[in-house]
């Protein structure tokens, strides 16, 4: 439905209000205590006067994130229009906060929610908080790459038929590796069953602004979506949008957000969302065309090296890989006898190149609005040299990224239950009460309430041995795990 009056996307109300405020030279007898940087000269020298000068508190001229009535409200209306949503909420707790607010809006204790198991830990964290019960649709695997794909339509239909009381279906759009499920079909199935459809679009900001990219959640008719503006959209780390469609009560969403989000929203983060939304609304088409070209160029150059496989559109099969995000540069490394994380470490330690993440079989180089051809060339030549200098025999390497879990109790029940700590190898057959994951991407290998198997323990030990950054458990060395007593 077209808005009767189109908003002016060249506006950035929060940024404009901060500029007006800066010129007023107001004497601060409020927080923050650094008082425009005067009280902390080392911080000011490090971050710059321009930055600390707008690190200010909520006040009438600058509105209030918890209850926006002026400039923040305008910024949210502009964002909603730019993203094709009925409502948009500025989030300053990262997309974790957006995902949790989305799940908490639709789920309460005991409710079932249908989701793929390769979700970000923030989704399962939200289930720990609200007591909802996950119904996992185990994603199909790509055996060669060892990665999980999207949700098949028939698997979603089966889950909906078997769990008719579920309140929502959650979809990754796209996965970390750029793989998209048939979101439109899943939205239609969910709605036909009286369920809502939620999308984790942490890696899909550009779907809203580029051309010839997979469909965005709002365009597909999803009810809510969490969008990491700081990933592919150019805003500051920890800034994000929560989008809602017309069938979601916006006032209730705001109340849910206010349960956990800070009452001291950072104007650095909010203004970065405002300015970045303006940039993408005005120039997104050209920006993401360029990003796509860089990624395609990188893919063809890396595949020409030999030994590596930078996968792309050829993955699309119309179902578990309904579409592929061409801006994602994922590279399979096992054929040169190195795990993705080993290539990741070599790139950083030997070539001063920081990759987004490496896992057991793949690495992901994040190509975005800030990249140029010369950086791509440097990455390609480093990969060629790594192959020449470090290539090994690939036999005996583990490839599987994903192991189907067995859920024994709900995440909330397991997280808060009486527990005991055991050495890793003694936990086999027990029920885990905490998370274990490689970060990034932050997809749990084990989540609270899941049975610990020998296969999972082998995976954890292998991932640790090759240098994956393991997080989650109480024991920082991950030599012990907490299990239900």
Q: Render pLDDT for 168-196 as a digit per residue (tens, 0 to 9).
A: 999 999 999 999 999 999 999 999 999 99
Residue 311 above 50 pLDDT?
A: yes
Tokens read off for 129:
């908080």
pLDDT computed for residue 201 by the predictor: 98
- Is 18 exposed, middle or buried, given 0-12, 13-18 or 19+ CB atoms closer than 10 A? buried
List, in order of start, the domains of the chain with CATH numbers: 13-281 (3.40.640.10), 284-390 (3.90.1150.10), 411-484 (3.90.100.10)
* DSSP assigned state of 140: P
Residue 2 above 80 pLDDT?
A: no
Ramachandran region, residue 311 (left: φ > 0; alpha: ψ -120 to 50; beta: rest):
beta
Q: Render pLDDT for 107-157 as a digit per residue (tens, 0 to 9).
A: 999 999 999 988 999 999 999 999 999 999 988 889 889 888 999 999 999
3-class secondary structure, 101: helix
User: If you write DSSP's letter for every residue of 1-38 in order, what string do you get?
Assistant: ---SS---TT--HHHHHHHHHHHHT----SS-TTTTTT
What's the mean pLDDT when you consider all of the chain? 95
Question: What percent of the chain clears pLDDT 90, i.e. is strictly above it?
Answer: 89
d(CA 87, CA 64): 17
Residue 365, CB-side half-sphere exposure with 13 Å CA sphere: 31
pLDDT computed for residue 143 by the predictor: 86
Q: Are 21 and 61 in contact (CB under 8 A)?
A: yes
Average pLDDT over residues 298-308: 98
Cross-strand bridge partners of residue 446: 436
Question: What percent of the chain clears pLDDT 70, i.e. is strictly above it?
Answer: 99
Chain centroid offset of residue 104 CA: 17
Q: Render pLDDT for 431-466 as a digit per residue (tens, 0 to 9).
A: 999 999 887 787 889 999 999 999 999 999 998 998
Q: Are 95 and 227 in contact (CB under 8 A)?
A: yes
3-class secondary structure, 467: coil
Q: Render pLDDT for 8-67 as a digit per residue (tens, 0 to 9).
A: 999 999 999 999 999 998 999 999 999 999 999 999 999 999 999 999 999 999 999 999
Q: Render pLDDT for 379-438 as a digit per residue (tens, 0 to 9).
A: 999 999 999 999 999 988 887 767 888 999 999 999 999 999 999 999 999 999 999 988
Q: Render pLDDT for 227-262 as a digit per residue (tens, 0 to 9).
A: 999 999 999 999 999 999 999 999 999 999 999 999
Our separate counts of H helices and E strands in the chain read 16, 20
In which residue are the tokens 């030999």 written? 306
d(CA 467, CA 359): 9
Residue 284 above 70 pLDDT?
A: yes
């Amino acid at each position: 439905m077209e808005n009767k009056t189109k908003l002016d996307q060249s506006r950035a109300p929060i940024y404009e209000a901060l500029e007006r405020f800066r010129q007023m030279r107001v004497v601060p007898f409020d927080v923050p205590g650094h008082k425009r940087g005067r009280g902390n000269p080392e911080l000011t020298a490090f971050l710059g006067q321009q930055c600390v000068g707008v690190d200010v508190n909520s006040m009438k001229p600058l509105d209030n994130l918890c209850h926006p009535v002026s400039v923040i409200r305008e910024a949210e209306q502009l964002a909603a229009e730019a993203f094709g949503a009925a409502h948009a909420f500025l989030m300053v707790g990262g997309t974790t906060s957006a995902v949790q607010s989305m799940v908490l809006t639709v789920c309460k204790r005991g409710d079932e929610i249908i989701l793929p198991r390769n979700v970000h830990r923030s989704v399962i964290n939200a289930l720990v908080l609200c007591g909802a019960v996950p119904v996992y649709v185990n994603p199909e695997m790509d055996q060669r790459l060892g990665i999980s794909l999207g949700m098949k339509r028939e698997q979603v239909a089966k889950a909906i038929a078997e769990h008719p009381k579920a309140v929502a279906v959650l979809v990754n759009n796209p996965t970390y590796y750029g793989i998209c499920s048939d979101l439109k079909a899943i939205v239609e199935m969910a709605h036909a069953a009286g369920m809502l459809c939620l999308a984790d679009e942490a890696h899909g900001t550009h779907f809203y602004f580029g051309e010839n990219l997979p469909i965005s959640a709002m365009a597909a008719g999803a009810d809510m979506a969490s969008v990491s503006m700081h990933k592919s959209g150019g805003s500051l780390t920890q800034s994000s949008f929560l989008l809602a469609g017309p069938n979601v009560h916006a006032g209730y969403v705001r109340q849910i957000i206010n349960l956990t989000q800070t009452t001291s929203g950072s104007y650095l983060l909010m203004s970065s969302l405002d300015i970045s939304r303006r940039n993408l609304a005005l120039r997104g088409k050209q920006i993401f065309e360029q990003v796509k070209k860089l990624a395609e160029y990188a893919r063809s150059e890396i595949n020409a090296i030999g030994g590596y496989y930078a996968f792309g559109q050829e993955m699309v099969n119309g179902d578990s890989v309904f579409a592929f995000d061409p801006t994602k540069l994922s590279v399979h490394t096992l054929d040169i006898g190195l795990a993705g994380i080993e290539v990741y470490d070599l790139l950083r330690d030997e070539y001063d190149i920081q990759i987004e993440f490496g896992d057991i079989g793949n690495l992901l180089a994040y190509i975005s609005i800030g990249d140029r051809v010369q950086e791509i060339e440097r990455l390609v030549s480093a990969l060629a040299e790594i192959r020449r200098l470090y290539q090994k025999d690939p036999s005996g390497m583990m490839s599987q990224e994903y192991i189907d879990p067995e859920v024994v109790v709900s995440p909330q029940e397991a997280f808060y239950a009486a527990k005991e700590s055991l050495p890793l190898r003694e936990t086999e057959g027990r029920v885990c009460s905490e998370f274990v994951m490689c970060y990034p991407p932050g997809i749990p290998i084990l989540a609270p309430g899941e049975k610990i198997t020998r296969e999972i323990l082998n995976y954890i030990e292998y991932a640790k041995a090759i240098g994956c950054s393991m997080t989650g458990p109480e024991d920082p060395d991950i030599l012990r795990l907490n299990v239900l007593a």
